[in-house]
Amino acid sequence: MAYADQQMSTRKMVSIGIVGLLHVVLGYAFVTGLAYQVIKQAPTVLETFDVQEAKPPEEEPPPPPPEPEQAPPPMAPPPQVVIQTTSAPPPVMVQTSIPTPPPPTITPPAPPRPSQAQGASPKGNRARWITTEDYPGSALRAEEEGTTSIRVEIDGSGRVTSCAVTGSSGSPTLDDATCRLYVRRGRFNPAKDASGNPLPSVYNDRVRWQMPK
């Protein structure tokens, strides 16, 4: 019985040892598996934590406004370069045609006036040629007076052919009336040469215009 008891106790101890070893292996496996699950689930937990705690993305600042275009600085014109050539340009031959001047106009000299032996003289009373009755009405209304000096040309028959005013009375109306009446009424003895032949001549006279009272 003692040997059987000893053998049984040995088997019992071996069984106990095997059971303990199994417990150790199971504990180790349990511990190792639990750590593996924790490690395996850790990224998921961390990832979820990161998503919940992540900050919203920062807004990008607006781009700076474009700088205004600056006008290019004024460019000074380049200085003019004057190139002087030593060789003179060839002379330009200019042909000018000289117009032929027109022939000069030759005016024949006036024939010499024959010398007068006797000048022209009025026929009759020349004071009657122009009287106050011939006073122009416009000159009377304007109360114009004065003396008109004239120079008349007389032909060989003693008639007055032309009249020119050499001194005005101050009134064109009186001057015109003097020449008009003198040519119409003037009669002269013609001038004569040494042989007694009548000659054309000139005569100077004065007519005084005075308003009648």
Q: Which domain holds residue 178?
A: 121-209
Tokens found for residue 181:
């009446």
Residue 91 forms part of a structural domain: no
Q: Distance between CA atoms of 191 and 202, rounded to whole angstroms?
A: 9
* 206: enclosing H helix or E strand: strand 201-209
Which pLDDT belongs to residue 42? 44
Provide the number of structural domains found in the chain.
Answer: 2
Contact 178, 118 (CB under 8 A): no
pLDDT digits (tens, 9 = 90+) for 70-90: 666 667 666 665 555 555 556
Share of the chain above pLDDT 70, in %: 57
Q: How confident is the model at residue 6 (pLDDT cuts 50, 70, 90)?
A: low
Query: 126 and 47 in one domain?
Result: no
Strand-pair partners of 159: 187
| One-letter identity of residue 128 | R
Decide if pLDDT at 162 tops 80.
yes
pLDDT digits (tens, 9 = 90+) for 30-62: 666 654 454 455 444 444 445 555 566 666 667
Q: How confident is the model at residue 95 (pLDDT cuts 50, 70, 90)?
A: low
Q: Distance between CA atoms of 148 and 169, rounded to whole angstroms?
A: 5
Residue 59 forms part of a structural domain: no
* Alpha helices for 54-170 (secondary structure H): 137-141
Query: 125 and 46 in one domain?
Result: no
Instruction: Specify the CATH number for the domain of residue 144.
Output: 3.30.2420.10
Q: Between β-strands 191-192 and 188-189, what pairing exists: parallel, antiparallel or unpaired?
A: unpaired
Contact 188, 204 (CB under 8 A): no
Contact 213, 204 (CB under 8 A): no
Which pLDDT belongs to residue 49? 45
Residue 72 forms part of a structural domain: no
Residue 76 forms part of a structural domain: no
Q: How confident is the model at residue 147 (pLDDT cuts 50, 70, 90)?
A: very high
Residue 190 forms part of a structural domain: yes
Residue 174, Cβ neighbours under 10 Å: how many?
A: 23
Query: Which residue bears the tokens 């600056």?
Result: 70
- The predicted model gives 111-125 an average pLDDT of 76
Residue 96 forms part of a structural domain: no
Task: Tell me the pLDDT of the chain averaged across its residues.
Answer: 76
Which residue would you say has higher pLDDT here, 212 or 121? 121
Q: Which of 166, 143, 142, 138 is nearest to 153 (CA)?
A: 166
Q: How confident is the model at residue 199 (pLDDT cuts 50, 70, 90)?
A: very high
- The predicted model gives 114-130 an average pLDDT of 84
Decide if pLDDT at 7 tops 70.
no
- The predicted model gives 162-167 an average pLDDT of 95
Residue 99 forms part of a structural domain: no
